[in-house]
C-alpha cells in the first residue's frame, strides 16, 4: 500500500542549482581560499543536523552515500529495472535521496513532517542486494539496512512529525524525556547561566533506579573538567538540583566538530581583517571547549565585520526545531558579494539623484540628500543545515543584538531562484509568455531588486515636527497634491512611521518600494546600467511587469479567509498592485478562469505590453503618489482606507478572488530543493564544481562532498549513532 501523499515527496520534486558561478569567479584567489575552507567547515558541521533530526537519519545518510557512490543513478537505474522496479519507483528513490540530503534528514525542514520512500520496502531491499555497494561490502550494507529499514518507513503516529514525548520524534532529547523533564532542565540551565544552544538532554536510570540527567555539550574535547580560566570551569560535573542528579558532560559530535575547527584554522590564514581572525579564533574555542560564551565573543567580532566580500556564520544557531525551543540546530554558510551586481547597484546609486527627482511626487516630498539604505545582497556558495532561507537576521543572542548590533542579509541567488521553474510547471501564463518569462525573469528580477531596495526604500521624506515646535518642511507653502491644499498633517514629536501605520506599515512600505521598481524600470538609463538595450530592454521591462501581476495572483496563497488576514507583507503588496492595474481597465491586465489541460480549474494572467506606457505607468504613477503623500503627511486614515480596500479578498464578480485563491493553492508548487556546488583545492587554486538541477545532480553533489575522508567519516558517524541508539530504544549491531 502506498503511503499517504503528505508523507512522500512528489516524483517531480522541483530542484534548482544555487548558482554562484559569476560571483565566485570574481573573487580574488585569497578570497576563494577563505571561501573554500569556510565551506569545508560548514559542510562538516552540517552533518551534525543528521544527529539532531531523528535516530535513524545518520545511518540512512551513510546507506544512501554508499549506494550512490558505488553506482551513478544511470547505472543503478539498469539494476532497478532488472529487479522489477518501475520507472516511477526508481524516480521515487532518487527523489527520496535528494530530498533527504536537502533536508539533512528524513523530516522536512519546512513543516517538520516525516517523508518516506515512495517505493516499497521489499523492492528497495531487492535493489540493495543487487547493487554494486552490496557486492563490495555485503555485511556492511546488510547491517546498515537492519538499522534503518523499520524507521525509514514507519509512519506510527509519534514518528510522523518532530516533537517531544508522545508528540513526536526529537533527538535533542532521549526518547524517554517529557516536557516536564525539559522544563526542569531549563530551570537548571538558567540557574547556572548555561546556554542550551549547543546541548542535548539524555535521561538515564542509575543502578538504584534513580533518574539521572545528562546535559551534553557539543565540543571537540571530551574532558569532564575545564581549566580555571574557562567560563565552563564551574559548570561541568555533577550537580543536585531540586532533588535530581544532573551531570553536565562534553564531547557531543566531537569527531565532526574537530573537522570544523581544523578548517576554521585553515581559513584564518586567508581572513581579510582582524575582526574575521578574532571571530574565527573564538568560534574555534567555542567548538573546542563547548563554550557558547566564546561563540558570543566571536559573534561580536562578526557583527563588527561590516560589508565583507565573503560573509559567513557558523554554529548552533536557530532553535526552531527543538520542540522546547532553546537548542540550536547546526548551521554554517558562506556567501559572497556579487561584485558585478554590486557595481551595477553602485551605478544606480550614482544616478539616484536624477532618478529620484523623476518619481511622481513634488520635490518637498523628497529627502534633502539621498541616503543609501543599508542593503547587502549576497550569493550563497555553501549553506549547510536543514534548509536554506532567503534572508537572515543574526545573531540570535539578544544581549549582543542590543549592545553590539546585528546584520541583515539578503541572499540574492536563493531569492532569484524562487520562481524560476521548468516550462511545463510554469503556472498561470499563456504559452507565448512562457518563453520570454523564462529567459528574462532573472535579469528583470535583478533590476527590480536594485530599484526596490535602493530607490524604493531609499526615497521619500516624512514631514516631522520636532520637540521645539519646528518643522522639517515649509508648512506655509507645501501643497498636498491629493487635495490641492496646504499640508495639514505630519508626525508629531515622538511619533514614528512604524508606530503610526502599525499593522499596515510593513506591507504598505513594501508596496511603495515595489511600485518604485515598476515605475522606474521603464527608464532607458536604468536598463542600460543593468546592461539591457533595445529589444532586450523591452523584454526585461515587460517581464518585470508581467511577473508583478503573476506574483499578485500567487500572493493569494498567503491570505487566510477565515481570519481575513494577510500573512506575508510582500505578497499582500503585490496583490494590491495587481488590483490597481486591473482597476486601470482597457484590458491592460486580464485574469481568465479556464479548465487546465489536466481537467482541473486553472487561471491565466495576461498583461498587454503595448499599453505599459499608456495605461500601466499612469496608473502606478497616480497610486505611488498617493502612497507617498499619505506616508509623508502621516495620514494613516486615508492610507488605511485605500490600502485595506485594495487588500480585500472577496468572491464578487468579475474577479472572484476567493475562487482564484483555491486555484492558486491547487496549483502551488512543492518547495524547491537546492543543489549546491563543491569547491576543490587543486594545488593553490580553488575550483567550483557544478551539478545538474535535478535529483541526480543533487545526489552527485553530496556524494562528492568529502573526497578525502568519506569512509573514515562514515565509520565515525556510525559509531556516534550507535553509541546513542539505546536512548531511543534501538539496537545497533555493527
C-alpha cell of residue 548: 508583478
Q: Cβ contacts of residue 401 below 8 Å, gap of 6+?
A: 395
Residue 330 C-beta: closest distance to Zn ion, Å: 30
Nearest CA among 656, 729, 732, 634 for reference residue 365 = 634
In whole angstroms, give the CA distance from residue 540 to residue 532: 8
Q: How far apart are the first and last CA of the chain?
A: 31
Q: Which long-range contacts (CB under 8 A, 24 or more apart) does 399-408 make?
A: 399/296, 400/296, 400/299, 400/300, 400/303, 404/300, 404/303, 404/304, 405/303, 406/303, 407/302, 407/303, 407/376, 408/374, 408/376
Residue 389 C-beta: closest distance to Zn ion, Å: 16
User: Of all helices (H) and strands (E), which one includes residue 201?
Assistant: strand 199-205
453 is a catalytic site residue = yes
Helix (H, G, I), strand (E, B) or coil at 438: helix
Q: Which is nearer to Zn ion, 91 or 448 (CB)?
A: 448
With contact defined as beta carbons under 8 Å apart, do 388 and 332 qualify? no
In whole angstroms, give the CA distance from residue 697 to residue 674: 10
Measured CA angle at 315 (ends 29, 268), to 5 deg: 30
Residue 454 C-beta: closest distance to Zn ion, Å: 11
In whole angstroms, give the CA distance from residue 705 to residue 728: 29
In whole angstroms, give the CA distance from residue 539 to residue 720: 55
Q: Which is nearer to Zn ion, 164 or 573 (CB)?
A: 573
With contact defined as beta carbons under 8 Å apart, do 195 and 186 qualify? no
E strands, 90-186, are none
DSSP string, 664-722: HHHTPPPPPEEE--EEEEETTEEEEE---SSHHHHHHHHHTS-TTTHHHHHHHHHHHHH
Residue 554 C-beta: closest distance to Zn ion, Å: 18
C-alpha cell of residue 106: 528524513
Q: Which is nearer to Zn ion, 264 or 454 (CB)?
A: 454
Nearest CA among 671, 693, 20 for reference residue 382 = 20
The secondary structure of 29-94, three-state, reads: HHHHHHHHHHHHHHHHHHCHHHHCCCCCHHHHHHHHHHHHHHCCHHHHHHHHHHCCCCHHHHHHHH
Q: Which is nearer to Zn ion, 89 or 510 (CB)?
A: 510
Q: Which is nearer to Zn ion, 513 or 549 (CB)?
A: 513
C-alpha cell of residue 393: 537576521
b/e map 1-16, b = 16+ CB within 10 Å: eeeeeebbbeeebbbb
Q: Which is nearer to Zn ion, 423 or 567 (CB)?
A: 567
The number of residues in the chain equals 734
C-alpha cell of residue 240: 543536585
- Among the listed residues 453, 509, 514, 714, the single catalytic one is 453
Q: Which is nearer to Zn ion, 214 or 510 (CB)?
A: 510
The label of the residue with cell 511545463 reads 424
Residue 153 C-beta: closest distance to Zn ion, Å: 44
C-alpha cell of residue 234: 564551574
Q: Cβ contacts of residue 315 below 8 Å, gap of 6+?
A: 197, 198, 283, 286, 287, 295, 298, 328, 330, 331, 332
Q: Which is nearer to Zn ion, 62 or 513 (CB)?
A: 513
Q: Which is nearer to Zn ion, 305 or 510 (CB)?
A: 510
Residue 449 C-beta: closest distance to Zn ion, Å: 9
Q: Which is nearer to Zn ion, 220 or 451 (CB)?
A: 451
In DSSP terms, 485 is beta-bridged to 480
Residue nearest to Zn ion (CB): 513
Residue 508 C-beta: closest distance to Zn ion, Å: 11
Residue 513 C-beta: closest distance to Zn ion, Å: 5
In whole angstroms, give the CA distance from residue 31 to residue 26: 10
Q: Which is nearer to Zn ion, 513 or 603 (CB)?
A: 513
Site of interaction with Zn ion (CB under 5 A): 510, 513
Residue 486 C-beta: closest distance to Zn ion, Å: 32
Residue 643 C-beta: closest distance to Zn ion, Å: 16
Residue 453 C-beta: closest distance to Zn ion, Å: 6
Give the active site residues.
453
Amino acid at each position: 500500500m502506498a503511503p499517504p501523499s503528505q508523507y512522500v515527496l512528489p516524483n517531480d520534486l522541483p530542484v534548482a542549482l544555487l548558482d554562484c558561478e559569476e560571483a565566485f569567479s570574481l573573487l580574488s584567489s585569497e578570497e576563494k581560499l577563505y571561501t573554500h575552507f569556510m565551506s569545508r567547515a560548514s559542510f562538516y558541521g552540517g552533518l551534525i543536523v543528521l544527529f539532531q533530526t531523528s535516530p535513524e537519519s545518520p545511518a540512512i545518510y551513510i546507506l544512501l552515500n554508499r549506494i550512490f557512490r558505488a553506482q551513478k543513478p544511470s547505472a543503478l537505474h539498469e539494476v532497478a529495472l532488472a529487479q522489477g522496479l518501475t520507472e516511477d519507483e526508481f524516480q521515487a528513490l532518487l527523489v527520496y535521496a535528494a530530498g533527504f540530503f536537502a533536508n539533512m534528514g528524513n523530516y522536512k525542514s519546512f513543516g517538520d513532517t516525516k517523508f518516506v520512500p515512495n517505493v516499497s520496502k521489499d523492492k528497495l531491499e531487492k535493489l540493495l542486494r543487487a547493487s554494486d555497494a552490496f557486492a563490495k561490502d555485503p555485511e556492511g550494507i546488510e547491517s546498515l539496512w537492519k538499522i534503518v529499514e523499520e524507521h525509514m518507513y514507519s509512519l506510527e503516529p509519534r514518528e510522523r512529525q518532530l516533537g517531544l514525548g508522545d508528540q513526536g520524534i526529537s533527538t535533542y532529547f532521549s526518547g524517554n524525556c517529557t516536557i516536564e523533564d525539559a522544563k526542569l532542565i531549563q530551570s537548571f540551565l538558567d540557574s547556572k547561566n548555561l546556554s542550551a544552544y549547543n546541548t542535548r538532554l539524555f535521561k538515564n536510570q542509575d543502578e538504584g533506579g534513580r533518574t539521572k540527567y545528562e546535559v551534553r555539550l557539543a565540543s571537540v574535547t571530551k574532558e569532564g573538567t575545564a581549566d580555571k580560566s574557562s567560563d565552563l570551569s564551574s559548570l561541568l560535573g555533577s550537580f543536585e538540583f531540586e532533588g535530581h542528579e544532573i551531570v553536565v558532560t562534553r564531547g557531543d559530535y566531537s569527531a565532526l566538530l574537530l573537522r570544523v575547527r581544523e578548517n576554521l584554522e585553515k581559513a584564518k590564514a586567508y581572513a581579510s581583517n582582524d575582526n574575521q581572525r578574532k571571530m574565527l579564533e573564538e568560534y574555534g574555542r567555542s567548538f573546542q571547549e563547548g563554550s557558547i560564551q566564546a561563540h558570543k565573543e566571536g559573534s561580536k567580532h562578526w557583527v563588527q565585520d561590516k560589508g565583507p566580500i565573503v560573509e559567513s556564520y557558523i554554529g548552533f544557531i536557530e532553535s526552531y526545531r527543538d520542540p522546547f525551543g532553546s537548542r540550536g540546530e547546526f548551521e554554517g554558510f558562506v556567501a559572497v558579494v556579487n561584485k558585478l551586481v554590486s557595481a551595477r547597484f553602485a551605478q544606480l546609486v550614482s544616478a539616484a539623484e536624477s532618478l529620484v527627482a523623476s518619481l511622481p511626487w513634488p520635490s518637498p516630498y523628497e529627502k534633502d540628500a539621498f541616503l543609501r539604505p543599508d542593503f547587502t545582497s549576497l550569493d550563497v556558495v555553501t549553506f549547510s543545515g536543514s534548509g536554506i532561507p532567503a534572508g537572515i537576521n543574526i545573531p540570535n543572542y539578544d544581549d549582543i543584538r542590543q549592545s553590539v548590533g546585528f546584520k541583515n542579509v539578503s541572499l540574492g541567488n536563493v531569492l532569484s531562484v524562487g520562481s524560476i521553474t521548468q516550462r511545463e510547471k510554469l503556472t498561470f501564463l499563456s504559452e507565448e509568455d512562457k518563453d520570454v518569462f523564462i529567459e528574462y525573469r532573472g535579469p528583470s528580477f535583478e533590476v527590480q531588486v536594485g530599484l526596490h531596495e535602493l530607490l524604493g526604500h531609499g526615497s521619500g521624506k516624512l514631514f516631522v515636527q520636532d520637540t521645539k515646535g519646528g518643522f522639517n518642511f515649509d508648512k506655509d507653502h507645501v501643497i498636498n497634491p491629493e487635495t490641492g491644499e496646504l499640508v495639514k498633517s505630519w508626525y508629531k514629536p515622538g511619533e514614528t512611521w512604524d508606530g503610526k501605520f502599525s499593522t499596515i506599515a510593513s506591507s504598505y512600505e513594501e508596496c511603495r518600494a515595489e511600485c518604485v521598481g515598476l515605475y522606474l524600470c521603464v527608464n532607458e538609463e536604468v536598463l542600460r546600467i543593468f546592461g539591457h538595450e533595445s529589444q532586450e530592454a523591452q523584454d526585461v521591462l515587460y517581464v518585470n511587469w508581467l511577473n508583478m501581476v503573476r506574483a499578485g495572483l500567487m500572493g493569494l496563497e498567503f491570505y487566510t479567509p477565515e481570519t481575513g488576514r494577510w500573512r506575508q507583507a510582500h505578497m499582500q503588496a503585490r496583490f494590491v498592485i495587481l488590483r490597481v492595474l486591473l482597476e486601470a481597465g482597457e484590458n491592460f491586465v486580464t485574469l481568465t478562469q479556464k479548465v487546465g489541460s489536466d481537467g482541473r480549474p486553472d487561471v491565466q494572467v495576461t498583461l498587454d505590453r503595448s499599453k505599459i506606457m499608456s495605461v500601466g505607468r499612469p496608473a502606478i504613477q497616480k497610486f505611488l503618489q498617493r502612497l507617498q503623500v499619505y506616508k509623508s503627511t502621516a495620514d494613516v486614515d486615508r492610507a488605511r482606507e485605500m490600502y485595506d480596500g485594495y487588500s480585500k479578498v472577496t468572491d464578487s464578480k468579475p474577479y472572484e478572488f476567493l475562487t482564484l485563491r483555491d486555484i492558486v493553492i491547487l496549483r502551488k508548487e512543492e518547495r524547491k530543493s537546492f543543489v549546491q556546488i563543491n569547491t576543490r583545492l587543486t594545488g593553490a587554486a580553488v575550483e567550483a564544481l557544478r551539478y545538474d538541477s535535478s535529483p541526480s545532480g543533487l545526489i552527485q553533489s553530496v556524494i562528492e562532498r568529502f573526497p578525502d575522508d568519506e569512509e573514515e567519516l562514515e565509520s565515525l558517524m556510525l559509531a556516534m549513532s550507535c553509541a546513542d541508539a539505546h536512548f531511543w530504544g534501538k539496537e545497533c549491531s555493527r
